[in-house]
Amino acid sequence: MASAFLSRTLFAHRFVSSSAITQNPQKFAAVFFKKPLQSWASPLRTTYRRPTFIPGAMATTVAGSTVSFSTRSMSTSEPVVSVDWLHANLREPDLKVLDASWYMPDEQRNPLQEYQVAHLPGALFFDVDGISDRTTNLPHMLPSEEAFAAAVSALGIENKDGVVVYDGKGIFSAARVWWMFRVFGHDRVWVLDGGLPRWRASGFDVESSASGDAILKASAASEAIEKVYQGQPVGPVTFETKYQPHLIWTLEQVKKNTEDQTHQHIDARSKARFDGVAAEPRKGIRSGHVPGSKCIPFGQMLDSSQTLLSADQLKNKFEQEGISMDKPVITSCGTGVTACILALGLHRLGKTDVPVYDGSWTEWGAQEDTPVSTAPSASTC
Which entry of 295, 333, 340, 381 is annotated as an active-site residue? 333
pLDDT one-digit tens code per residue, 345-376? 999 999 999 999 999 999 999 999 999 999 87
| Residue 239 confidence (pLDDT) | 97
CA distance 378 to 372: 12
- Rounded average pLDDT over 142-153: 98
Distance CA 255, CA 16 (A): 50
Q: Which of 8-12, 46-50, 344-348, 365-369 has the lowest mean pLDDT?
A: 46-50
Q: What pLDDT sits at residue 154?
A: 97
Neighbours of 73 (CB within 10 A): 13
Q: Residues with Cβ < 8 Å from 268, sequence gap 6 or more?
A: 296, 297, 298, 331, 332, 333, 338, 339, 341, 342
Share of the chain above pLDDT 90, in %: 70
* Helix locations, the chain, DSSP H: 2-13, 18-23, 25-32, 38-41, 83-89, 111-117, 145-154, 174-183, 195-201, 212-229, 251-260, 271-275, 311-320, 339-348, 360-364
Confidence of residue 71 (pLDDT cuts 50, 70, 90): low
pLDDT digits (tens, 9 = 90+) for 200-211: 999 999 998 777
H or E element, residue 162: strand 162-166
Q: Respond yes or no: is residue 381 known to be catalytic.
A: no
Q: Are residues 154 and 235 in contact, defined by beta-carbon separation less than 8 angstroms?
A: yes
Mean pLDDT of 299-303: 98
Residue 267 has pLDDT above 90, yes or no: yes
When the pLDDT of each residue in the chain is averaged and rounded to a whole number, the result is 83
Q: What are the CA-CA distances from residue 69 to residues 52, 96, 124, 162, 233 (Å)?
A: 13, 13, 21, 11, 36
pLDDT for position 35: 32
Give the CA-trace dihedral at 306, 165, 104, 226, to 10 degrees.
180
d(CA 367, CA 154): 36
SS3 string, 191-243, reads EECCHHHHHHHCCCCCECCCCHHHHHHHHHHHHHHHHHHCCCCCCCCCCCCCC
